Structure 1
Amino acid sequence: MADKTDITQKSKQDKTMSEISERLGAETVNQIQDIVNQQRQQNTMQYQNAQHKQFSTSIECLVNSAREQQMASEQQIQSTLNQASTSLMDARRLENLYNSALQLQQAAQLGISNLQMNARQYKQTIEQMEKDCHEQQVAMDMQVIQSMQQAVSALAQAQNAILQSQAINKMFDSITKCEDNLTQIEQMGQKTTPAM
């Protein structure tokens, strides 16, 4: 009964991870489409004066920077989900190995006659353990390779983090420029409004 509950929980976890991955992929496509549509709108936009143009340019810069950071964050989430999925598969294989080993231990405790009577069943269990162990060994070898690749790319990741920090600074600058431009636009409106 516990096995059925575990299987149900695991299938729910797989489904949830799959849905999150699909949603992130769809959101990325939608964001790219939004960027294209906004650029088309901006190309046809008419500016009323220099301040209006400066404000619009600052906002455009801010929107682009924020979107880049959002997409980078979603890529990081996707990477984390992929790692979690791999870890989940590893955990399942290791759990299967552990449970099978416990079954064989219990079989041995029941005595030699039990082993003789159920030898075929226990051989199947051992064959499955061999399969799981081989798959886990391959998975671990792949993780070694990936870890070495990650070590090589660690500097690139650090560089990327520096670039993201610079992008956040750029966003802050854009926000400040927007505020300054809006203040100028507001002051222009006050000058043109006749006094009561």
Structure 2
Amino acid sequence: MNSILVKNAKVVNEGKTEVLDVLIKGELISNIKKNIKEYPTDTLVIDADGKYLLPGIIDDQVHFREPGLTHKATIASESRAAVAGGITSFIEMPNTIPQATTQEILEEKFKTASQSSYANYSFMIGGTNDNLEELLKTDPKNVAAIKLFLGSSTGNMLVDDEEVLEKIVSSTKMLIAVHCEDEATVKNNLDKQKSIYGDDIPIELHPVIRSE
């Protein structure tokens, strides 16, 4: 069986909702219209009367924790959960161990995803104060974006050198996603809360520390 026909669904598409049939052949949508009557004899027919049918959602910021933190999650476990919730594509962040700041590590993540992901995927490469050469090797056809943290992140993924930041922005044609924080502000706020709570800072103060 290579075909699926979803009948009588409330199809949400292009800004409107209509009751339509959707015919899928192989991995492609073949037809969307009212009352589809012609389809292969071995087609699985699903009556979706009263139910909504939406395009797959793209989640452009996920943390799937692989490699290095797989006791928390993996690409397989989290992509499976994503698909169960209607997310068919994801873009994963570089905050792993090791961090995805080189082409070699990126290639390993793509390899892992090709073997275990239940959804479509891409990754961001992380910027640092000293990996401009790696960033410029990045293929925008495969890698979703460069991720820059202007406030502290994991490892050395902090770009607080204005000259480096200017070089990254002016040298690459990649899309750039930025955590727009100020490292000095974050540090001052953190020191203030540590003076009150020590190392046991209440979790609800996290947004206070990370903002002005």
**TM-score bucket (shorter structure):** under 0.3
> Larger C-alpha radius of gyration, 1 or 2?
1
More strand by share: 2
TM (norm. structure 2) is: 0.19
TM (norm. structure 1) is: 0.20
Higher RCO (CA < 8 A, seq sep 6+): 1
More helix by share: 1
